[in-house]
């Protein structure tokens, strides 16, 4: 038995695809193009005997979380219980020793779920599966003798985002709703500031105040680590002499975020977003729209997909949209010149904010934007 990295050898790749398709009832559908791309990135390990593929392990990495993830570990039915899976995993360990660990998700009712503890994985949690029969998925984790990975990226949400999330409706497509995407749950811890409770307390309706307080119990409250009043004073200096009550609350939100050492604040407040560069200059904090945060995280976890490509023999370049492109998208692709930025973002937001479902591509000729393409995956 030989364990090797699959290059783009068409014979072995075809065998891997056939083996994956044969077992797609448990592995799930995986497009042929995705196999080819994984082979190109050297993210498929194969076990071979002469010219036969006995099994394969397909994996990827998350730059943001510093981990490797097993996508497929598949062994031909005739070759199981012969140590093939163990040898494939052993090679993966050699390739990923610089990462903090390895993650895999597996349905509890699958036979393969019993393999992971034998390989040294520990069950760190579970979540509902997509099956109509109410299946559960175990989150397995292999520790590479480094600190536990389950420290996620910390993000503070503005009150306007929290109110939007609390009033979720299927018939509305608010930008904030996309923060509920399943793939984000493994990446982000959402936080609130004490100012949120003060803002909710000002609502005139008693039932609404109680509803929001109950909703807020699911979020972490940031902890103050630095002198708050000094930060408030510095942020206040960025505003005019006279400010209203809402702006004062905005200042407190940002000050609490900075004081707690959280580095990302998400809002749809235009006044705050307009000040993002100045605040970032003073402190290591980013003020982002929900869409900008989602694109940022997706580009970090799938970095290679965001690398620009160039059409041969021309100056035309194609690249996946990133958060820095938002201003250019708005200014170049308005339906009418009078269309406002927020109206434009509301129109394209569902595509930008769901990068796992929609592929949003920008095409440029030299420095001129000539097309915006959205592909439903």
3-state helix, strand, coil in the chain (%, to 5): 40, 25, 35
- CATH 3.30.70.1380 corresponds to the domain 2-102: no
pLDDT mean across residues, the chain: 83
pLDDT in tens, 141-157: 888 855 443 457 889 99
pLDDT in tens, 171-181: 666 788 888 87
Average confidence (pLDDT) over 336-359: 73
pLDDT in tens, 307-316: 455 444 556 6
Going from N- to C-terminal start, the domains of the chain cover 2-102, 153-288, 298-376
Q: Phi and psi of 43, rounded to 5°?
A: -115, 25
Tell me which of 3.40.50.1010, 3.60.20.30, 3.70.10.10, 1.10.3080.10 is the CATH number of domain 153-288. 3.40.50.1010
pLDDT in tens, 34-64: 888 889 889 999 999 988 899 999 999 986 6
| Cα–Cα nearest to 149, from 65, 261, 93 | 65
| DSSP label at residue 93 | H
What pLDDT is recorded for position 301? 54
Res 31 pLDDT > 80: yes
Alpha carbon distance 84, 90 (integer Å): 10
Measured over the CA atoms of residue 335, residue 341, residue 345 and residue 346, the dihedral's sign is negative
Alpha carbon distance 154, 66 (integer Å): 15
């Amino acid at each position: 038995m030989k364990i090797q990295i699959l290059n783009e050898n068409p014979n072995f790749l075809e065998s891997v695809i056939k083996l994956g398709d044969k077992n797609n009832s448990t592995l799930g559908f995986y497009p042929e193009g995705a196999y080819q791309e994984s082979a190109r990135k050297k993210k498929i390990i194969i076990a071979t005997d002469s010219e036969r593929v006995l099994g394969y392990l397909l994996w990827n990495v998350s730059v943001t979380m510093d981990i490797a993830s097993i996508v497929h570990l598949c062994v031909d039915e005739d070759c199981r219980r012969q140590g093939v899976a163990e040898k494939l995993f052993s090679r993966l360990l050699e390739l990923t020793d610089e990462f903090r660990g390895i993650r895999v998700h597996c349905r509890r009712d699958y036979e393969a779920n019993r393999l992971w503890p034998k390989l040294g994985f520990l069950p760190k949690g579970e979540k509902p599966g997509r099956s109509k029969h109410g299946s559960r998925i175990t989150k397995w984790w292999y520790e590479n003798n480094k600190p536990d990975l389950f420290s996620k990226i910390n993000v503070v949400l503005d009150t306007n985002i929290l109110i939007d999330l609390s009033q979720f409706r299927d018939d509305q497509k608010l930008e904030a709703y996309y923060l509920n995407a399943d793939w984000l749950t493994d990446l982000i811890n959402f936080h609130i500031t004490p100012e949120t409770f003060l803002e909710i307390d000002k609502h005139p309706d008693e039932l609404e105040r109680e509803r929001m307080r109950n909703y807020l119990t699911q979020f972490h409250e940031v902890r103050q680590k630095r002198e708050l009043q000094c930060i408030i004073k510095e942020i206040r200096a960025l505003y005019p002499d006279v400010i209203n009550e809402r702006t004062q609350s905005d200042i407190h939100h940002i000050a609490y975020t900075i004081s707690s050492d959280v580095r990302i604040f998400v809002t749809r407040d235009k006044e705050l977003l307009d000040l993002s560069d100045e605040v970032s200059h003073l402190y290591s904090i980013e003020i982002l729209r929900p869409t900008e945060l989602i694109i940022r995280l997706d580009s970090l976890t799938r970095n290679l997909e965001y690398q620009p490509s160039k059409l041969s023999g021309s100056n035309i370049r194609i690249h996946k949209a990133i958060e820095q492109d938002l201003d250019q998208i708005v200014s170049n692709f308005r339906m009418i010149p009078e269309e406002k930025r927020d109206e434009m973002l509301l129109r394209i937001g569902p595509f930008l904010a769901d990068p796992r479902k929609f592929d949003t591509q920008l095409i440029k000729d030299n420095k001129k934007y000539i097309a915006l393409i959205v592909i439903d995956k």
